[in-house]
Amino acid sequence: MFDAHCHLTYPGLKEILDRVLPEAATVLTGIVTSAFPFDREKKEDFIDARIALELTQRYNGRVFVSLGLHPTQVVEMSDLEIQKYKEFIFENKDRIVAIGEIGLDRFWIKNEEEYRRSERVFLEMLEVAEKIGKPVVIHSRKAEEEAVEILSSYKLDEKVLMHSFTGNMTTARKALDMGFYFSVNLKVRDTKNMRKIAKGFPLEHILTETDSPFLGPDGGVNTPLGVQYVIEEIARLREINFEEIDKITTENALIFYGLR
C-alpha cells in the first residue's frame, strides 16, 4: 500500500506520530507527506517543512516529502516569505520527491485580488518544478478548469498528480489525455465524479492517498493506515480484488515519484 499524499506534521496527526508512524512505515511501501512551509508562530523557520524532512531520515525509504504552497497559505504570506520559501525548496531539492501541493482554490479564496495573487504564485511554483525536474501535486478545489488550462502550458513530462480531484468529467478527461495522474481518497465514497474516475479511468493513472489527518474513515483523525479503505473502495467499484488494486496503485506511485 502507498499513501501518495498526506500531512504528517499537521495538527491532529503530528501529536500521535510516535504511535502511528512506526506501524504505518512498516505496513506501507511508502508515504508522501506534503509539508506546509510555516505555522503562524514560526513563519520564517519553516518548522513544519523541517520536521517533515527529518522524518525522511528517521524513516528512510518509507517516508518522503513534497514541498509546495497551498493556495490558502499564499494569501497569508508576504512576498518576502514566499521568496524565502522558494529558496528553501531549492536548497532541499535533493531531499524531496515533488513540488506540492500547489494550485488554485475558489472554495476558500473568495477575494478576486487574493485569488489572482495565488495564481501568480502557482505559476512561480510550476517554474520551480520545471527547474529542479520534480513532479507536481495539484490542489484545484472549485478551480479545476483553470488549473488544468495553466498546466497545459508547462513542460512537466506528464508528471502531474491531480490530488483529490472532484471537478467535472470534461476537465478530468482533458487532464487524463495530457497524461496526468489522479489520487483517490475517501471522498470516493460520496463524490460522484471521484467515483467515476476511480471506476472508469485507466488504473495505471490512479494513485491512492489519505490526505490525513483529514477524511478519516470514521469521521475522526485519519492516518496513512487509512489508505487500506481507499483501496477497498476502488476494488469494490472496479470488481477487482484488493491485492491487484494495491499492486498497481503502489507501482504507479513509485513511478510517479521516481522511487523505482
Pairing of strands 98-105, 63-67: parallel
Q: Which three cell numbers stand for residue 219?
A: 469521521
Q: Are 228 and 220 in contact (CB under 8 A)?
A: no
Residues tagged in the binding site annotation: 5, 7, 101, 139, 163, 211
Q: Which three cell numbers stand for residue 33?
A: 507527506
Residues tagged in the binding site annotation for a divalent metal cation: 5, 7, 101, 139, 163, 211
CA atoms within 13 A on the CB side of 237: 23
Q: Exposed, middle or buried by CB within 10 Å (0-12, 13-18, 19+), for 115?
A: buried
Residue with cell 512561480: 124
Q: Exposed, middle or buried by CB within 10 Å (0-12, 13-18, 19+), for 159?
A: buried
Give Cα separations from 120 to 14, 22, 146 (angstroms).
Answer: 31, 39, 13
Q: Are 157 and 136 in contact (CB under 8 A)?
A: no
Strands (E) across 40-171 are located at 63-67, 98-105, 136-141, 160-163
